[in-house]
């Protein structure tokens, strides 16, 4: 059953007549075997899920960045819950987006490149389609990111695009920035919603991803040209050449170094690139503000959960690198804000330190709207943490990067609350790295070869094998 895709609202009577839904959740695609109703409240929460592209965890004011301007993200964090230790299990766009949709590690969903689509059965087990089956109006805007065949017919409103897309589009003789266009589409979706039918809108921004084929790389909206104009961005400590020189040869000759040459190899390039990156994030922040204003105007604000996160991190010259892929914090750590209007005032503005993952997002969304999530999802619901509960939680996670590329070596590893173990699996023998994050948070010193660390190294090797086997 398809719902309206235009901007016309349905009255309650029209909605019931059209769909036969007068009560709570129903299935619109047959019985549910693995996703069932838990909450029979007639007022189901709406969800807006915002995903940025290549935004690292420390690029919001609320995360302590003294330069970047993100007022709407900061206000959302002040009213919601900010997860300071959020990670991706694979740091590359396609794999991470598939993990977010499906709640699964890359090893399970097997989307490790940019060409592979979800199978029809796997797509039906993603969080938006599970929600549609129980009566949600679902929309998608932006970079689809999982294969090249767009699932338009599976959504009630679909404005997605394949591949990387482009930032500027001509409208009425003027160049309009993609982030602004996506904001307008979000408002259009909201205007098409009814208070009698819950909705879930997923927005996947291209920003702040570079435009790879353009020499300018960071193509921000020129409206923000003067933002940070008189600011000097500090160069990261680990951008010093000695840290790059300490890397193994196959990292020094990798795609990450080639891109560093384009973006960060001179002081002028560094300043231009980081400011462009920050301006792209500011553009997303502006759109977030517009969406929040629209929710207020349409009287959806008090019943709409908002989640904001990133698909992977991004080097800003640290270790002499650019891009992502590898297991440094800059590459695997991303922002996560969850705002739930049902949250008591006493629990708002909290910061959680637990290790949470991109695979937790699908289970969390389903749980927050009152649905059990399928057993094959490997993530955990964050509902308890959001609502201030102290509960047993993971203290480590498995990382994997299986993308086939001639100059991006595959890697796996384990990160816990203190230690990080990295293993480049295609090297013979495997190259290992060990970092003590408590005493070396910038990962300046690989201490894997120090004899005194043999016990912790062996322990993490064992844990790597255990986690790896458990994912099969």
211-239 confidence digits (pLDDT tens): 988 888 999 999 999 999 999 999 999 99
426 and 437 in contact (C-beta within 8 Å)? Answer: no
Using a 10 angstrom Cβ sphere, with 0-12 exposed, 13-18 middle and 19 or more buried, the burial of residue 456 is: middle
Report yes or no on 447 lying in a domain.
no
Share of the chain above pLDDT 90, in %: 88
Report yes or no on 75 lying in a domain.
yes
Q: In DSSP terms, which residues pair with 168 in a beta bridge?
A: 177
383 and 361 in contact (C-beta within 8 Å)? Answer: no
123 and 397 in contact (C-beta within 8 Å)? Answer: no
Nearest to 80 by CA among 363, 343, 382: 343
Report the C-alpha gap between 411 and 423 in whole angstroms.
Answer: 6
Report yes or no on 8 lying in a domain.
no
What single-letter DSSP state applies at residue 299? T
N- to C-terminal Cα separation, the chain: 36
CB within 8 A of 140, min separation 6: which ones? 128, 155, 157, 158, 159, 160, 201, 202, 203, 204
pLDDT interval class at 8 (50, 70, 90)? very low
- Does the reported pTM lie above 0.85? yes
447-465 confidence digits (pLDDT tens): 999 999 999 999 999 999 9
Report yes or no on 36 lying in a domain.
no
Report yes or no on 327 lying in a domain.
yes
The tokens of 352 are what?
């959680």
Please tell me the predicted confidence (pLDDT) of residue 243: 95
SS3 137: strand
Which residue range(s) make up the domain with 151? 42-409
The tokens of 91 are what?
């740091």
What single-letter DSSP state applies at residue 133? H
Domain CATH number, residue 396: 3.40.720.10
Q: Rounded to the nearest 5°, which phi and psi values hold at 319?
A: 60, 15
Report yes or no on 416 lying in a domain.
no
Report yes or no on 430 lying in a domain.
no
SS3 412: strand
Structurally, how many domains does the chain consist of? 1
Dihedral sign of CA atoms 261, 267, 268, 269 in order = positive
Report the C-alpha gap between 438 and 435 in whole angstroms.
Answer: 9
322-339 confidence digits (pLDDT tens): 999 999 999 999 999 999
Please tell me the predicted confidence (pLDDT) of residue 42: 56
463 and 423 in contact (C-beta within 8 Å)? Answer: no
234 and 127 in contact (C-beta within 8 Å)? Answer: no
Which one has a higher pLDDT value, 40 or 371? 371
The tokens of 390 are what?
């102290």
Please tell me the predicted confidence (pLDDT) of residue 5: 34
Report yes or no on 414 lying in a domain.
no
Using a 10 angstrom Cβ sphere, with 0-12 exposed, 13-18 middle and 19 or more buried, the burial of residue 215 is: exposed
pLDDT interval class at 361 (50, 70, 90)? very high
Which whole-number Å values give the CA distances from 344 to 79, 299, 387, 388, 445, in the listed order?
10, 19, 8, 10, 43
């Amino acid at each position: 059953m398809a719902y309206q895709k235009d901007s016309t609202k349905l009255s309650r009577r029209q909605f019931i007549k059209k769909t036969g839904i007068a009560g709570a959740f129903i299935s619109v695609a047959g019985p549910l075997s693995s996703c069932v109703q838990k909450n029979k409240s007639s007022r189901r929460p709406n969800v807006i899920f915002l995903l940025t592209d290549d935004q690292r965890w420390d690029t919001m004011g609320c995360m302590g960045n003294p330069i970047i301007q993100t007022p709407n993200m900061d206000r959302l964090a002040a009213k919601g819950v900010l997860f300071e230790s959020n990670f991706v299990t694979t740091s590359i766009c396609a794999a991470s987006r598939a993990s977010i949709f499906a709640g699964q590690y890359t090893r399970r969903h097997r989307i490790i490149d940019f060409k592979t689509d979800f199978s029809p059965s796997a797509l039906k087990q993603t969080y938006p389609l599970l929600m549609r089956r129980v009566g949600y109006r679902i929309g998608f805007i932006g970079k689809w990111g999982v294969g090249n065949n767009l699932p338009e017919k599976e959504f009630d409103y679909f404005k997605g695009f394949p591949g990387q897309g482009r930032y500027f589009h001509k409208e009425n003789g003027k160049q309009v920035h993609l982030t602004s266009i996506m904001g307008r589409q979000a408002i259009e979706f909201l205007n098409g919603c009814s208070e009698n039918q819950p909705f879930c809108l997923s927005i996947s921004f291209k920003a702040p991803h570079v435009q790879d084929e353009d020499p300018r790389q960071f193509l921000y909206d020129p409206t923000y040209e003067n933002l940070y104009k008189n600011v000097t961005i500090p160069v990261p400590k680990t951008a010093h050449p000695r840290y790059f020189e300490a890397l193994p040869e196959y990292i020094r000759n990798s795609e990450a170094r080639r891109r560093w040459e384009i973006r960060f190899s001179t002081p002028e390039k560094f300043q231009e690139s980081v400011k462009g990156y920050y301006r792209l994030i500011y553009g997303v922040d502006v759109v977030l503000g517009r969406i929040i204003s629209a929710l207020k105007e349409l009287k959806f604000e008090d019943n709409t959960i908002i989640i904001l996160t990133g698909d992977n991190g991004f080097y800003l010259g640290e270790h002499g690198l650019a891009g992502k892929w590898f297991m440094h914090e800059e590459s695997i750590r991303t922002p996560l804000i969850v705002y739930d209007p049902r949250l008591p005032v006493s629990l708002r503005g909290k910061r959680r330190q637990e290790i949470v993952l991109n695979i937790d997002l699908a289970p969390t969304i389903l749980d927050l709207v009152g649905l059990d999530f399928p057993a094959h999802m490997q993530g955990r619901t964050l509902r308890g943490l959001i609502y201030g509960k102290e509960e047993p939680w993971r203290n480590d996670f498995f990382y994997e990067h299986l993308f086939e590329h001639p100059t991006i070596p595959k890697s796996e590893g384990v990160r816990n609350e203190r230690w990080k173990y990295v293993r480049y699996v295609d090297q013979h023998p495997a190259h290992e790295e060990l970092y003590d994050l408590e005493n070396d948070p910038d990962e300046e010193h690989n201490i894997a070869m120090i004899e005194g660390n043999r016990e912790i190294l062996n322990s993490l090797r064992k844990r790597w094998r255990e986690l790896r086997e458990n994912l099969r």
